[in-house]
Amino acid sequence: MSGEAAAAERCPSPRPVRCLSVVVPLDRSGVVPGAIRIRAARIRSRRPTRAPVIGLTGGPGQAGVYFITDYAFLLPTPGRDLVLLDQRGTGASGLLRCPSIERDFKTSTFERAAAACGQRLGARRSYYTSADSAADVEALRIRLGVPQIALYAISYGTRVATEYARRYPDRVERMILDSAIGNDAPDGLARETLEAVARVLRSVCRIGCGGAHAHPVSDLRQLVKRLRSAPIRRTVRGRRVRVGADDLLGLLVSSDVNTAFMRRIPPAVRSAVGGNAAPLVRLKARFGGEDNDRPSEFSSAVYAATTCEESSFPWDPAAPRLTRRMQARAAADATPDAAFEPFDRAAALRFGLLPLCGSWPARERVVAPSPPLPTTVPTLVLAGELDLRTPLENARRLTQALGGRLVVERGVGHQVLGADPNGCAMPAVEAFLAGRGVPECRRDASISIGRAVSRRAPSVDPG
């Protein structure tokens, strides 16, 4: 079944939009029966003359239609409609749910919850990969009746965008990748994040971190060792708060969307090293909780299924649980210490994909390798120097592989266009979508093209 369906669907958005849908098979090979109605929302341009912009949200697991007004900054581009979809398993596109994960999105019991989710989903769990979503985007393009589309993708959405471009390069007029996932990410031991921590700490303290700018990396290294054996436990307003070594990494990663918060971490770490843990405990108490998104906005089941079904691991996903853990530890032991500094191998094992996918059921579907990345699709990559979820190093490698252009925003973390304090990213996007040359940023950022770099200021401090 390939499909189309349409018309007058209600869109959960405060902005007047039109909804449409397209029906696609769960399994395009026909082995597993079932179909999914992919819902999309469309904001029309007054005079559409160019390829519509398809917005792809992150996660994996984030809905799209509900957030269409958050993408309205793309509307000033003349002649382009804006379309956002709920990717399969999210929002109103056959919402996938696992109560076990929704109840307990915490590392301590996540492995059992994830295993229960995989068992609950059964054979369906194999059909929520990025390649499946890319094929859904192609069905949506056909439903829209346009020969080409432009893609704007954030975070995980960049994986779907590049998968689409791999398979349908002639259908992509251009694409913008904001906070892009690397071509070989995510790493099962979170090494791309861990390797970026020291650089990011030095970069944020260049902006200013309350007197802790001299030794932010060595301070953190010292505290990690101390907390690994003796976590801090305090009571804050009647609530018990525990700060362990892995909580430090969690705070850093969660703060990459909030530079002001990130700047508070090095002084709190330095204070704890000196014996006063109160500032760090307050940060954990205030910002260390887990997000509790509604399933209609974020499907944790899709997050688990996509991640565990398509990621590459340093263990055999078909092996028994204990064998997987042994193989993961062996891979961590074989990795040089420098790859984890200022953290350690325990952080790699606990913050990587082992808690989520270490007990996930063995894969039942063999997915064909992706075609090579295209070099003919005009591509703009936006990266924040403080991004720890999708680090700058990954963006550089991906840009080079695509032969695209890279705009680096200094003082920005994850989701560049959501911040853009230097006023560099949005002018670049507007020019790129209009088919003009991308302007050089005249503020505190840089633009590079493939291997050649042209800049007025250093984009990042070296490791």
| Predicted pLDDT at 142 | 97
CATH no. of 5-182+370-454:
3.40.50.1820
- Rounded Cα distance between 258 and 285, Å, is 16
Q: Is the dihedral of CA 87, 90, 96, 98 positive or negative?
A: positive
| Predicted pLDDT at 18 | 82
For 130, residues 6+ apart whose C-beta sits below 8 A from its C-beta are 60, 159, 160, 163, 306, 310
| Predicted pLDDT at 332 | 97
Q: Cα dist. 414→255, 258, 355, 392 in Å? A: 9, 9, 23, 10
Whole-model pTM: value is: 0.91
CB 181 within 8 A of CB 399: no
DSSP letter (8 states) at residue 181: P
Element (H, E) at 432: helix 425-433
Token pair 């500032």: residue? 279
Give ∠ CA 395-360-297 in degrees, rounded to 5: 60
Four-CA torsion 52, 55, 56, 58, nearest 10 degrees = 170
| Predicted pLDDT at 442 | 65
CA-wise closest residue to 5 among 18, 22, 26: 22
Strand partners, 154: 178
Strand order of the sheet with strand 53-56?
Answer: 5-9, 18-25, 35-43, 82-85, 53-56, 149-154, 172-178, 379-384, 405-409, 445-449, 452-454
Per domain, the residue ranges of the chain are 5-182+370-454, 184-290+314-352
CB 71 within 8 A of CB 151: no
| Predicted pLDDT at 69 | 79
- Rounded Cα distance between 394 and 180, Å, is 7
Report the relative pairing of strands 239-243 and 232-236 from DSSP bridges: antiparallel
Four-CA torsion 418, 13, 58, 436, nearest 10 degrees = -50
Token couple for 386: 């403080």
Per-residue tens of pLDDT for the chain, all 463 residues: 334 333 446 676 545 678 999 999 999 999 999 999 999 999 888 888 899 999 999 999 999 998 887 777 666 567 899 999 999 999 999 999 998 888 765 545 678 899 999 999 999 999 999 999 999 999 999 999 999 999 999 999 999 999 999 999 999 999 999 999 988 778 999 999 999 999 999 999 998 888 777 899 999 999 999 999 999 999 888 889 999 999 999 999 999 999 999 999 999 999 999 999 999 999 998 876 555 678 999 999 999 999 999 999 999 999 999 999 999 999 999 999 999 999 999 999 999 999 999 999 999 998 788 899 999 999 999 999 999 999 999 999 999 999 999 999 989 999 998 887 778 888 899 899 989 988 887 655 455 544 322 222 222 222 2
